Amino acid sequence: MTDVEPILVADSLSSGYGDIQVLWGASVTVWPGRISVLLGSNGAGKSTMLRTISGLNRATSGRVTYRGRDITGESAPKRARDGIAYVMEGKRLFHARTVEENLMLGGYTRSRSRRTLRGRAGGIYEKFPMLGERRSVRAGALSGGQQQMLAIGQALMSEPAVLMLDEPSGGLAPAIVKDVFRIVEELRAEGLGVLLVEQAAEQALAIADHVTVLNVGKVVIDRPADQVEDVSVIRSAYLGMGDLETPGARGGQAQPEDQPTPPVDPAPGDETR
C-alpha cells in the first residue's frame, strides 16, 4: 500500500470509559479506496477504537490524523462535517421517521440546502433501489437488512471520505450479509476509505486490503490482507496463542469488555430508537 497515502491514521491510541481503560496504545490506518478490517473477540476494543476516532470517546494518549492534520482535539460534529462517517452497531435510525426523512437528516451535517439533499438522496436510491421503493415507509417498519442499508445510506448522505462500519452484518441473514459486503466493495471502488469492524472474520478477510487485530486493547496483527495466511491465524490472535500471544494489561489482568454504545436521543417527536 506504499503507492497510496493514508487518509486517516489512529496512532497509539489509549482510551476507555471513565476509569476503565479499553485501548492500550492501539493503532489502525485507513487508505482511500481500500478496506481496512479491524478484527478481535468481544471486548477487544474494536468499538472503542471507532468511537475514539469519531470523537465520541476522548483519547487519553496517542493521536488521530486525517488528511495529514491532527484532529485529536476536534469534536465529533467537526469530524463528521470534515468527512468521517460512523455507522454504529445496531442500525441506529429514527424509527418513527420515513426512509427519506432519515436520509435527509443524515445530510444536514454538511449544511446543504434541501434541494441539494434531495439530489443526494436520489443517488442513494440508485445505489439502494429497495430504499427508493420504500422512501415513504417508516424506518421501524423495514426489515433488518433494509435498516442496515438505510443506516449506510444515511451515513453516505454527508459525502464522507472515510466510512467506519461497526458490525454491519450483525443479526442479518447470510444472503443479506452478502449484499452488505458487496456494497462495501462498491464503496471501495468509488474511492472511499473504509474501516470495517466485523465478527464474521472469514467474510471480512475475503474483501479486506489490510487487517488489524486487537486483543485486550492491543494490536497483535497489523499487515496487508494478502499476508494473512488463513483465518486460523486470526483465531490464534483472538486467543493470544503461540507467537501471537500478547502481554496482558498492567499486572497481567485482562481488560474490561467494550462498553455498550449509549442510545442517541431521537429528534423531538420521534419514538425511542
Q: What is the DSSP string of 251-262?
A: GGPPPPPPPPPP
Question: At 13, phi and psi to the nearest 5?
Answer: -80, 135
Report pLDDT digits (tens) over 172-203.
888 888 989 999 999 999 999 999 998 888 88
66-80, 130-144, 222-236: which has the minimum mean pLDDT?
222-236
Number of Cβ within 10 Å of residue 216's Cβ equals 22
Q: Cell 423531538 maps to which residue?
A: 268
Question: At 48, phi and psi to the nearest 5?
Answer: -65, -35
Starting at the edge strand found earlier in the chain, the sheet holding 61-66 runs 20-30, 8-17, 61-66, 69-70
pLDDT of 165 > 60? The answer is yes
Report pLDDT digits (tens) over 1-12.
558 899 999 999
CATH for 1-83+196-261 is: 3.40.50.300
Q: Residue 250's pLDDT band (boundaries 50, 70, 90)?
A: very low
**pLDDT given at position 261:** 39
Q: Residue 265's pLDDT band (boundaries 50, 70, 90)?
A: very low
> Whole-prediction pTM value?
0.84
**pLDDT given at position 91:** 73
Contact of 208 with 36, CB cutoff 8 Å: yes
Between 106 and 273, residue with greater pLDDT: 106
Backbone Cα Rg of the chain = 18
pLDDT of 218 > 60? The answer is yes
